[in-house]
Structure 1
Amino acid sequence: MENVAVDEAVEAFLASAAELADCVRRGVGSPGSGVSGSGGSDPLREQADACLDGLGVSARVGAMVAGLTVRLVSGFADKSEAMAAPATSPGQHTAQEMGVVSEVACALTVSERSASALLAQSRELSTTLPLTLAALHSGNISWQHARVMVDETASLDPAGAAALEAHFLDPDAPHPARWCPAGDMVPSRFRHKARTWRERHHPVSIEVRHAKSFLDRRLEYAPDRDGMAWLSANLPADQAAGIWNGVTATARALQGPTEDRTLTQLRADVAAKLLLSAGFTTSNPTAGSTDAVAGTGSAGDGVAGRVPATDGIDDAVTGLLPAPDGVNAGRVPSPAAQVLVTVPVFALMGLTDEPADLDGYGPIPASMARKLVADGASSFRRVLIDPRDGAPLETGRASYRIPASMRQWLRMRDGKCSFPGCNNQSLDNEADHILAWADGGTTGISNLGSLCRKHHRLKHSTAWRPNEATKDEPPGWTSPTGRHYKSEHQDWETPQWPPHILDQLSRRERGPVVPEHIQSEYLLPADPPAEVAVPEDVLPGQPPPEELLPEEPLPEWVRLPWPIGEQHSSR
């Protein structure tokens, strides 16, 4: 069917695309880029800059085309449904839907399965997610970002879906996402952010959902090609993170000039050695005896394709193996590897049930975090956060050596490699001075960035440069061509306050905000404990009186003003 208006619009679009390609070929930049096709001293640089400008325009045009596709697919489905006779049976309704799917599949030259998924996503965007569709149609987010939004709102009611969408796409929302816009994040990072927000604001408590999902834990085995197989486990997040971090740390320790295995291969070898060396418990139903079966076979005869017996892993994993009497089958121990968890103070006290945050994963139930504290896991490192705005405290020192406490804080602030789009988790990363120590840079958190080894080498071997950081914000980056890329900040949220405290504050006519008499000397001491030390690249304040310094850090962190504490204790 011919449509003159559509044909003219298509011709105009193709002409514009051809003009853009010609500009790139001639080295003419887009308006505002500072690149000109005449008078330049370096034609190759001009053409390179024009190509980058063209890539940005191409990405935006691609998003706009995807938005147009969504509108067309949704519109065709609506018009087809309106033209069709009312279905008299479920079978007839299914046949009508199959007809629509087939038409879309043939028009786009895709499989019917892909067409069916596109129809479902288009309907969701057109009916439930108007802000997402508008952002896609304007080119502010990509099609991958839109699909992430559809996936993460799938199990939410309309109000919850609207709240999640507004948080990331509406700058006028009550609590918009901080710093990095959704379209400036790679889709995988946006999925992590959206999933984290969804977990925190889901209408069903994370405690309830975790209790249900905990029943689905399992270990799966799947044969693969060429004598290989997959072993995967669905575990509670703290256990999985502890296993992964422990295996990674051990694999890192084995790396050296004489080690030719990659980190990925070392992880697999360490995990195999741990599992096969720990011993397994089997019971004889007839004799009622229990024996420990040591791992044999693939762990130690030096045959090609197997882990050699003298590969150095035995000594490295000694501290990670359980005691000879095995593990109590009724209780899994807390992780023996380092696990970083951010815990709101009131949640740690049991006064609220808001989620804690597990480094490299996201929100976990408060009960899981409290269990880690109660178990006294030496590997567990808690980071108490400011009840006023959700941000942790800065740590630092003025020597070149970076202490463990500051490395923990850097993991907390950055969450991953600070390079744009990198997903490398913080445990694998290296702390790097933004301004080199030799050039006068200090070893304070505001002069440090977390970098994976790949991007650490990139910084020191190319013209890529990190920008300034703060105690709460990782550094952005400037490319060799002068383009600036914003950093991806943590989307901190103000912690919940216990209802009885809010009630008392309200009765004192001080409103729901933190009253003036709750000063930092109560919740945030001037000199925090050693675990959260004040940086020495900032002038320190006067230390608090000796009588205010606690023997343990936790009581001081959660102490409230005397009048509130007195009233609460009298209830």
Structure 2
Amino acid sequence: MALADALTSYLPCTLAAMEAGLIDEYAASRVFEATACASKEVAAEVDARLVGRFENRNPPALRRLVNSLLMRVDPEGYERRRQEKVAARRLEIRHGDHGSSTLFAELPSDRAQALYAACDRDALAKKRQGDKRTMDQLRLDALVEHCLGGHGCAGKPKAQIFVHIDLPTLLGLRDNPAELAGCGGISPEMARAIAFDADSVWNRIIDEPMTGLPIDLGRKNYRPPSAMRKYLHVTHRTCSMPGCTRPAQYTDLDHATAWKDSGRTDKANMRPLCRVHHLLRDEPGWTFTTDSETGVLTVTAPNGRSYAEDSTGFV
């Protein structure tokens, strides 16, 4: 009832997109839920800015876009709600059957991303050493070790977390939204707080040309060096698969034109794909096409529908 009321009153563009078959009811509910925290006037402005941007976005990608627009339309309200969420952070435990329990944590996105990255890093290190546990098992066991002071905490480098922010915003001269890789848009206040935290585990990525990085390795090397890997992690930010939010630093680097087909190991031909979508590329019926000029990946599913995202990784 609440969704129907919103669509027929202050979300007319979302309703029109649903009627045109661009989105389904579930995707429309993502728009409604994301804007329910704001006033109807703000929600209506966000709805208007969605025109022309519904097509080929799955529900998670659409909700991230709505959150990004909310931050631009109502930055003060966004920051107030963010601070309220921080104040309401909590950890819950729910005991289940057969000696198993579930922990639920609601916490700031940068802290959640850092915790996951640290556990993923430790899990990957053990997997490379031949550990037979699954990655999910290894991540959970790493979390337990970290929390209980196990050996997994000692002598480890900090996890790789990327926060993208422009220089004027970092200096407090502007208040442009920033981005936490794998999460999406964050407020400039939150980005600056992370930047100047002495205990921060982030990598600050300022939007200026970066020097000293390799441009082209030609056909001599199959695997890119660490400098190029970091460059690709920075520029792509997440898995190149449209709608996937896995941070680029936890993905495989894939040759758009396959190495066996004379594909080069350079920044134009390399792109990050998480393991699931890397394997999906070889499945029958799926087509992965990369624009040679913009680097934008377009994925065509077996049903013939194509999906693409902005070349910058921003919504």
Of residues 486, 505, 517 in structure 1, which corresponds to 2:307? 486
Gaps of 5+ in 1: 1-118, 172-180, 279-313, 322-335, 387-391, 494-571
What do the CA deviations read for 1:71-111 (whole angstroms, capped 9, x no partner)? xxxxxxxxxxxxxxxxxxxxxxxxxxxxxxxxxxxxxxxxx
| Contact 1:413–1:474, Cα closer than 8 Å, also in 2 | no
1:325 corresponds in structure 2 to none
Please report how far the alpha carbon of residue 453 of structure 1 lies from its aligned counterpart in structure 2 after TM superposition.
1.2
SS across alignment from 1:241? helix
Equivalents in 1 of 2:199, 2:273: separation in Å?
27
What do the CA deviations read for 1:299-348 (whole angstroms, capped 9, x no partner)? xxxxxxxxxxxxxxx3x542349xxxxxxxxxxxxxx3211000111111
Does residue 1:128 correspond to 2:10, yes or no?
Answer: yes
SS across alignment from 1:443? coil
In proportion to residue count, which structure has more helix? 1
1:564 corresponds in structure 2 to none
| Contact 1:206–1:364, Cα closer than 8 Å, also in 2 | no
Equivalents in 1 of 2:70, 2:313: separation in Å?
12
Does residue 1:454 correspond to 2:290, yes or no?
Answer: no
What do the CA deviations read for 1:419-441 (whole angstroms, capped 9, x no partner)? 34545443431111101234332
SS across alignment from 1:486? strand
Does residue 1:397 correspond to 2:279, yes or no?
Answer: no
User: How do 1:259-408 residues align onto structure 2 when only pairs under 5 Å count?
Assistant: 259-277=131-149, 314=151, 316-320=152-156, 336-375=158-197, 379-385=201-207, 396-399=214-217, 400=221, 401-408=223-230
SS across alignment from 2:253? strand
1:211 corresponds in structure 2 to 83
Return the TM-score normalized by structure 2. Answer: 0.84
1:509 corresponds in structure 2 to none
Please report how far the alpha carbon of residue 213 of structure 1 lies from its aligned counterpart in structure 2 after TM superposition.
2.7
Structure 1 residues 183, 393: closer, same or farther in 2, change over 3 A? farther
Equivalents in 2 of 1:472, 1:427: separation in Å?
21
Does residue 1:224 correspond to 2:224, yes or no?
Answer: no
Provide the identity percentage.
Answer: 29
2:110 corresponds in structure 1 to 238
Larger deviation: 346-355 or 152-161?
152-161
User: How many positions carry a matched residue from both structures?
Assistant: 309
| Contact 1:417–1:450, Cα closer than 8 Å, also in 2 | yes
Amino acid at match of 1:381: N
Of residues 286, 298, 304 in structure 2, which corresponds to 1:464? 286
Equivalents in 1 of 2:244, 2:176: separation in Å?
29
Of residues 264, 271, 283 in structure 2, which corresponds to 1:442? 264
Q: Which has the higher contact order (CA 8 A, sep 6+)?
A: 2
Larger deviation: 337-346 or 423-432?
423-432
Of residues 61, 70, 79 in structure 2, which corresponds to 1:198? 70
Please report how far the alpha carbon of residue 465 of structure 1 lies from its aligned counterpart in structure 2 after TM superposition.
3.7
1:105 corresponds in structure 2 to none
| Contact 2:281–2:287, Cα closer than 8 Å, also in 1 | yes
- Which is higher, the Rg of structure 1 or of structure 2? 1
Return the TM-score normalized by structure 1. Answer: 0.49
Equivalents in 1 of 2:202, 2:313: separation in Å?
23
Please report how far the alpha carbon of residue 379 of structure 1 lies from its aligned counterpart in structure 2 after TM superposition.
4.3
In proportion to residue count, which structure has more strand? 2
Structure 1 residues 319, 469: closer, same or farther in 2, change over 3 A? farther
Equivalents in 1 of 2:77, 2:6: separation in Å?
25
Equivalents in 1 of 2:243, 2:82: separation in Å?
29
Equivalents in 1 of 2:170, 2:6: separation in Å?
39
